[in-house]
């Protein structure tokens, strides 16, 4: 009997042991191992370099997808649809980056219309966008209208501004309507009769819309609207050229002294109603004034104004005395170069009125006399085509920067970078430009514009303004 009881007890203990082991095994099998974040920081590079797009391979989460509690914000089906969307509202801005203990990188992104915000897998390196997102150019360069082409807005409003923007609509995050004299433009009525010219054009990558950047307003390159953008379909050209025929036009071809043709040709077309036109007839008659095109430019002036990039006239003025309608005018040019511009502090920065750094605190990495200001840290002014032309010329001829200086200085330019003191208070700089030195630089040299700076309390409200003429 004792032997039987002993066997029974042993069997019971063995059974309990099996159940206990099975229970532990079951618990371990169901436990999930989650990743942990080892780094989470804001992205501080130029905001315009952080425009990205989904590629549809990964979902968007409330936190890194491998963290405990991560919830789906947008499925891969949705992110793929957004990647293929034909509206700039689907463009994304990346603004934080996190790394997990598994070596995975996640980016926090927000759609330009703010409808989607969350974290998405970004590969294994924080040095470049990868994984579920990729860098994305929200615009592509397009051909701008001729510098002498003039336009008017198709329509204006006394109560709204749906036409003039600081950047083409939905191409930069939180960049909206044009700002004139420091104020957001809420009405376009003031520009109902304005004559505009443009010096830059882009096409939006998703919609395919063409936008023009304002170069002058009623002939002024310092008007507050200069630099604003308008959709090409919202303006109407005032001086559209007539169709070129052998009776009213001359083809202009540019070539080097050895006869090598360079750049693109251009076609000058006489204004409708011009007398004395006809194939084979001289454009410039022996008597009377030279005929002009619809923009008011003679053939010689037109040829001088359309010299290809990186070339300059070999001799000036252009000789068009023997040009005939229906024929070609050959213009001799020589190699040239275009200078870039840098902004350099010419004095130790001062503090703006009312700006003081608290006792016991100091500014971290503030600017000093001689520092060069990065173009991503400054709200660059827009320049007219004539001002930019001052930066181009034959490599053996000094630059005369008269038009450039008149456009660039003196100007107050807002900084776009935030500086902090050791107590965490935010500041930014406000710059004042001076004149670059004429007859000192040669085409291709880096032209220096001197600036002074005032440290101003508060984070900047300005954003970087992309320009091709700055370094």
Q: Which DSSP letter does residue 371 get?
A: P
Helices (H), 161-261: none
pLDDT tens per residue, range 292-312: 988 788 999 999 989 887 888
Mean pLDDT of 347-371: 94
Q: Is the pLDDT of residue 184 over 90?
A: yes
Which residues face 430 on adjacent strands? Answer: 414, 454
pLDDT tens per residue, range 249-305: 999 999 999 999 999 999 999 998 899 999 999 999 877 778 998 878 899 999 998
Greatest alpha-carbon span in the chain = 143
pLDDT tens per residue, range 125-153: 988 899 999 999 999 988 888 888 899 99
Q: For residues 183 and 224, is the Cβ–Cβ distance under 8 A?
A: no
In degrees, rounded to 5, the angle at the alpha carbon of residue 93 between the alpha carbons of residues 373 and 188 is 80
pTM of the model: 0.54
Sign of CA dihedral 70, 75, 80, 83: negative
């Amino acid at each position: 009997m004792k032997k039987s009881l002993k066997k029974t007890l042993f069997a019971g203990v063995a059974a309990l042991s099996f159940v206990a082991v099975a229970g532990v095994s079951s618990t371990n099998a169901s436990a999930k191992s989650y990743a942990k974040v080892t780094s989470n920081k804001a992205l501080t590079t130029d905001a315009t370099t952080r425009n990205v797009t989904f590629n549809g391979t990964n979902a968007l989460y409330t936190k890194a997808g491998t963290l405990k509690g991560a919830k789906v914000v947008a499925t891969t089906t949705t992110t793929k649809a957004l990647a293929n969307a034909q509206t700039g509202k689907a463009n994304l801005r990346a603004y934080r980056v996190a790394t997990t203990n598994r070596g995975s990188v996640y980016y926090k992104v927000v759609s330009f219309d703010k409808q989607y915000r969350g974290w998405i897998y970004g590969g294994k390196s924080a040095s470049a966008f990868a994984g579920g997102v990729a860098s994305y150019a929200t615009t592509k360069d397009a051909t701008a209208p001729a510098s002498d082409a003039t336009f008017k807005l198709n329509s204006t409003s006394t109560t709204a501004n749906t036409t003039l923007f600081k950047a083409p609509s939905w191409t930069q995050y939180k960049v909206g309507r044009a700002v004139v004299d420091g104020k957001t433009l809420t009405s376009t009525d003031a520009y109902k009769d304005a004559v505009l010219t443009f010096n830059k054009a882009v096409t939006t990558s998703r919609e395919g819309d063409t936008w023009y950047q304002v170069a002058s307003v009623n002939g002024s390159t310092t008007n507050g609207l200069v630099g604003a953008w308008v959709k090409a379909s919202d303006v109407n050209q005032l001086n559209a050229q007539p169709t070129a025929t052998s009776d009213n036009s001359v083809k202009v071809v540019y070539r080097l002294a050895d006869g090598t043709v360079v750049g693109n040709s251009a076609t000058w077309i006489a204004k409708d109603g011009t007398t004395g036109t006809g194939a084979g007839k001289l454009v410039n008659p022996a008597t009377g004034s030279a005929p002009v095109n619809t923009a008011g430019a003679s053939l010689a002036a037109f040829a001088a104004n359309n010299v290809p990039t990186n070339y300059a006239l070999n001799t000036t003025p252009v000789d068009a005395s023997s040009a005939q309608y229906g024929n070609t005018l050959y213009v001799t040019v020589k190699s040239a170069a275009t200078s870039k511009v840098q902004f350099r502090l010419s004095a130790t920065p001062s503090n703006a009125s009312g700006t003081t750094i608290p006792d016991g605190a100091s500014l971290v990495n503030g600017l000093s006399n001689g520092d060069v200001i990065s173009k991503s840290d400054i709200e660059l002014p827009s320049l007219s085509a004539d001002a930019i032309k001052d930066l181009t010329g034959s490599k053996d001829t000094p630059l005369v920067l008269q038009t450039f200086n008149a456009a660039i200085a003196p100007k107050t330019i807002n900084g776009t970078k935030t500086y902090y003191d050791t107590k965490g208070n935010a500041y930014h700089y406000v710059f004042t430009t001076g004149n670059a030195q004429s007859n000192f630089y040669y085409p291709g040299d880096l032209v220096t514009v001197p600036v002074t700076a005032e440290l101003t309390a508060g984070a900047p409200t300005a954003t970087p303004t992309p320009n091709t003429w700055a370094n």
